[in-house]
Structure 1
């Protein structure tokens, strides 16, 4: 009924990108029916469905980056399918934290590259207050604190795209309660991946630990989790000098106190030239240092 009413034209066109969960988490089920249903429910929006390994098509520069990042632990075989190539690369990452970190980076690159390919001016992220709190804590622990100004805050990103988080003030429980009032939503909402049954913290990634922490503590102290996100939203971009170079993997700016190119000591005490292309946080995730 509301669609039949006369409304002024919107100031933007909405294009929804759905990244197939099973391409990131093999245990996740396929959502073919939900994808078809959401298109019927929202006919005025445009939809695209991609798998994570489609990044090789949308971001062709990634091929050389992955080989350089993984070092001797990975050899890219272009004769394989994109899925097999990505699976081989992810298998070269040895720790749970590094794998989760790289998956997040690849997902970001896929979404950003796709947005640019269709000439979007901004991206609306669906993170709730709790998810932003978990992301904030995890990124600080992984050495990505300098990126919080655009990873959890509204505003311009380093990729010349506006990032906005319209659900930032809503708790996950509130969103779940809202969806329960509308039965039609239950068939199109993709549930979060259930937490790992592995209770040994050494086998969990930092991201998983922070999600568990925020989930359990957020139920008891929702105001505390909300303050985490609000505090991160007040952060300002670093004024540390930089020569304008970007990390080859996560594509954020590389800088240090003197504004010189990144210099890192390898375990054998010698500077490794490939390290110069990556930021501190990405270097920590490299297989050779795990």
Structure 2
């Protein structure tokens, strides 16, 4: 009787471990799921080690006092992958050394202004646990979670509100006031742009309020390339080194601390707060498609808890369906996302070169003050060139003495 053997697999052996079946393409290699997961984790932890060396240089070493990392959690692919990698590393530290180098605070900014309770406090707040937040809490028990409402940005004096269109005081809640402000913005691109800037301000304010040592953003290589081109197209190219590169970022304005303290105590605590905070992108050397694959091979898969991107997009946040949209309703960010999806698939080195080139740019301080919205230093000569070449919309009233960069000015007033 002839013995039968199982049919040979059509997939080659993994080039990294030489043991498992290679079912994924990783750049120029064919690898197995465990090696792909290890590759993603190693790329992220190496960036984290650079962060740890940089933030501890020049100061007293405190091995028994772990740093506090604020992880910006959009509940999308990249930020969830970042949280997973950090949480795993945290667990490994406990097993190996019985102590940890960092603590995790995951902050989600809820941008859906159309589903709010009837009242809202002036200070940054949290709502009852949603199903998504409960899922994340159970999946990552060693992390602390906080949800902040987008309208809480109205309580921050880090923004020069006099440079923006006045809010309608007749509306009942801050969420309604902010929704009305977004409705009066000139385009879909403007709404996406201002929402992103408001979210950044809120993350910085929470980082200061919660005494965090570092702000970690989940932007991958592809997302940073998209941001580079979209910010350039909007006339905010001067800000690229501050928005794309890792390093210290100046905390804008006198951030509101909230709480029930007396005014003097709040001002004293704010005055003693950090003037700068490190902002790092640990996933900056990983492509979006690699992270998408990574979310399917974790145990259990991260893909099961990730919120679909369409529900967290600026269009969805402003009550618009993101699934079916005409070209005229696409923001610059959405155009860049579609463009780089094709470039990443066929020419990934081009995507990486965009980010590496931006990484070589210096961070000049604005000699003419800072923008009242994005808080990046003003480049008046550059702004005037943009206004001269592209023109300025006529018939739009702007407040006297405004101090906005060209990109923010166009986003607000068209």
TM-score (norm 2): 0.59
1-side partners of 2:114 and 2:283: how far apart?
A: 23
Deviation for aligned residue 1:105: 1.1
1:256 to 380, 385, 388: 380
1:1-290 equivalences under 5 Å are 5-23=95-113, 32-57=130-155, 59-60=156-157, 62=159, 65=161, 68-70=163-165, 74-77=166-169, 80-159=172-251, 160-182=276-298, 183-193=300-310, 196-200=323-327, 202-238=328-364, 242-243=367-368, 245-257=369-381, 274=400, 276-287=402-413, 290=414
Confirm or deny: 8 A CA contact 1:14 1:46 kept in the other structure.
yes
2-side partners of 1:25 and 1:141: how far apart?
A: 32
Deviation for aligned residue 1:255: 3.5
Confirm or deny: 8 A CA contact 1:24 1:103 kept in the other structure.
no
State the match for 2:39 in structure 1. Answer: none
From the CA coordinates, give the structure whose radius of gyration is larger.
2
Deviation for aligned residue 1:92: 0.9
2-side partners of 1:131 and 1:2: how far apart?
A: 29
**Secondary structure in structure 1 of the residue aligned to 2:172:** coil
2-side partners of 1:76 and 1:36: how far apart?
A: 35
| Structure 2 residue ranges without an equivalent (≥5) | 1-90, 117-128, 252-275, 312-321
TM-score (norm 1): 0.81
2-side partners of 1:184 and 1:163: how far apart?
A: 28
2-side partners of 1:24 and 1:146: how far apart?
A: 34
1:167-213 deviation digits (Å, cap 9, x = unpaired): 1111111111111012342333233227653242x332111111111
Deviation for aligned residue 1:76: 2.6
Deviation for aligned residue 1:235: 1.1
Deviation for aligned residue 1:268: 6.2
The structure-2 alpha-carbon separation of the partners of 1:150 and 1:20, relative to structure 1 and needing over 3 Å to count, comes to same
Confirm or deny: 8 A CA contact 2:163 2:404 kept in the other structure.
no
The structure-2 alpha-carbon separation of the partners of 1:86 and 1:93, relative to structure 1 and needing over 3 Å to count, comes to same
| Structure 1 residue ranges without an equivalent (≥5) | none
2-side partners of 1:146 and 1:165: how far apart?
A: 19
1:218-275 deviation digits (Å, cap 9, x = unpaired): 1121111111111111111136x614x22111112224359xxxx9997669x96635
Confirm or deny: 8 A CA contact 1:266 1:272 kept in the other structure.
no
Confirm or deny: 8 A CA contact 1:35 1:188 kept in the other structure.
no
1-side partners of 2:188 and 2:330: how far apart?
A: 6
The structure-2 alpha-carbon separation of the partners of 1:275 and 1:198, relative to structure 1 and needing over 3 Å to count, comes to farther
The structure-2 alpha-carbon separation of the partners of 1:93 and 1:86, relative to structure 1 and needing over 3 Å to count, comes to same
Confirm or deny: 8 A CA contact 1:150 1:163 kept in the other structure.
no
1-side partners of 2:94 and 2:197: how far apart?
A: 41
